[in-house]
Amino acid sequence: MILGIIGALSSAALAAGFWFYKNWAKTITNLIVVMLIGFFCISAVFSFSTAVFAGEKITPLAEIIRALGQSLLALLENIAIPLILIYGLREMDECFAQSDRQRFVMDQFIKKLLVIIATTSILVVILIFVFTFLESSEALENIGLGELLTGTVWRPGTSTGDQVGQFGLVPMILGSLYSTLGAVILGVPLAILTAILLAEVAPPLVREIIRPAVELLAGIPSVIFGLFGVVVLAPMIRNIEIDGNSGFGILNASIILAIMILPTITSVAEDAIRAVPDSYRDASLAMGATHWQTIVTVILPAARSGIIAAIILGIGRALGETMALIMVIGNSIAIPTPLNDNPLTILLATARTLTGNIAVEINYAADVHRSALFFTGVLLFLLLLGINRLAHFVMRERQPS
């Protein structure tokens, strides 16, 4: 009795939906039917897998074929009616034409949906920051912001007065800044010149060879770059005969990071250069400028905002890299200092980055130590935010008045 009433009400609601809402009801029905067909397909796959792989012995080929036939037959029986329903709705397409009011309402719905989706992405970033900040509150209360940002010693296991451990982040801050700065110095010019080559200079054949190679770099796991630094770069750097040079340090990390940020900066910068209107190029060439003069004085200034965005993305990638740096930077919890009287030997000193500090110690950290590592994440977030704001300030200052 109850099931009959529920069925009757459902049928009435479906009929009313088709009568009043037409195309919307058709779209929703098609979506539900497609989901139902997908469910039956997944069920058939699991049914076949259970029949073949269950048991302690290898299933004979004849039984595999029979199980496959039974699964396909059951699938066809289950999806026959949904397929007929989809076909019938398609043949009756003219009966489900949208009215002007329905199109207007749907247009407003899509606009609001896009706004909600965009707001959700912002909300996710805010929630991540709030969660990380709340987790770091214990460190802020027990250690203090000043000690975290100015302390030069990181010893979580030692006791100092009523406080357990020393949690100075200066060595890791300097390690991150030095390695990122080295990566920017090495990688940004190479990436920008590569983008200019791909967008303005290279013939199609050369472009089709270089672009996939650059894009391939973006898909290589960071641990592979770390292995390259350990096996190839470290022995080469170790050949520099300086006491204390192990081959692992800031120079090795900067080279690896420069290679890793190359595809990101190149791809975004190339798109920015290609977005410059052809009229700019034609006008410059018509004035008698050479191709290279046009690139330097017209195209690059016009694509400045996109190039700066590419550099920001590259810096963010460098600051956030973890695994490769753990393998090549030496992981020394000390302020990087020159190995001798030559200041440039600081590039050969070992260091540790903020991200590496989190990755190395988070598995066994607890209480204040764990909270201090979360504060490290907050600091990274604020560093990236500061770089982003600085880039926007530079771009605004350079805009013509």
Q: How does pLDDT run along the chain (401 residues), one tens digit per residue? A: 554 565 555 555 555 555 555 566 666 777 787 888 888 888 888 888 887 777 667 778 888 888 888 888 888 888 888 788 777 767 666 665 666 666 777 678 788 888 888 888 888 888 988 999 998 888 888 888 888 888 888 888 654 444 567 888 888 999 999 999 999 999 999 999 999 999 888 888 888 888 888 888 888 888 999 999 999 999 998 888 888 888 888 999 999 999 999 998 999 899 889 988 888 888 988 888 888 889 988 899 888 888 888 888 888 888 888 888 898 988 888 888 888 888 888 888 888 888 888 888 888 878 888 888 999 989 988 888 888 777 777 666 555 54
Two tokens at 203? 């013939």
Of the three residues 68, 98, 128, the one that is the final residue of a domain is 98
Domain extent at residue 13: 2-98
Of the three residues 76, 98, 120, the one that is the final residue of a domain is 98
**352 phi-psi bin (left φ>0, alpha ψ -120 to 50, beta other):** beta
> Does 238 share its domain with 355?
yes
> Does 247 share its domain with 361?
yes
Q: How far is it, in rounded angstroms, from Cα 16 to Cα 21?
A: 8
> Does 81 share its domain with 196?
no
> Does 255 share its domain with 340?
yes
Contact 246, 238 (CB under 8 A): yes
> Does 233 share its domain with 374?
yes
143 belongs to a structural domain: no
What's the one-letter identity of residue 401? S
What is the model's pLDDT at position 31? 76
Of the three residues 81, 98, 115, the one that is the final residue of a domain is 98
372 belongs to a structural domain: yes
Q: How far is it, in rounded angstroms, from Cα 94 to Cα 120?
A: 37
* Residue 348 dihedral angles phi and psi, to the nearest 5°: -95, -5
The residue to which tokens 């009435």 are assigned: 12
Of 255, 264, 208, nearest in space to 232 by CA: 255
What is the model's pLDDT at position 367? 84
Query: pTM score, two decimals?
Result: 0.71
Alpha helices in 220-341 (DSSP H): 222-228, 234-238, 250-274, 278-286, 291-294, 300-302, 304-320, 323-328
157 belongs to a structural domain: no
> Does 85 share its domain with 226?
no
292 belongs to a structural domain: yes
> Does 248 share its domain with 373?
yes
Residue 371: CB atoms within 10 A of its CB come to: 22
> Does 180 share its domain with 304?
yes
CATH of the domain at 212: 1.10.3720.10
Number of domains making up the chain: 2
151 Cβ partners below 8 Å, 6+ apart?
A: 166, 167, 168, 169, 170
> Does 220 share its domain with 359?
yes
Q: How far is it, in rounded angstroms, from Cα 251 to Cα 139?
A: 32
142 belongs to a structural domain: no
> Does 193 share its domain with 94?
no
What is the model's pLDDT at position 162? 47
> Does 210 share its domain with 305?
yes
131 belongs to a structural domain: no
160 belongs to a structural domain: no
43 belongs to a structural domain: yes
> Does 180 share its domain with 260?
yes
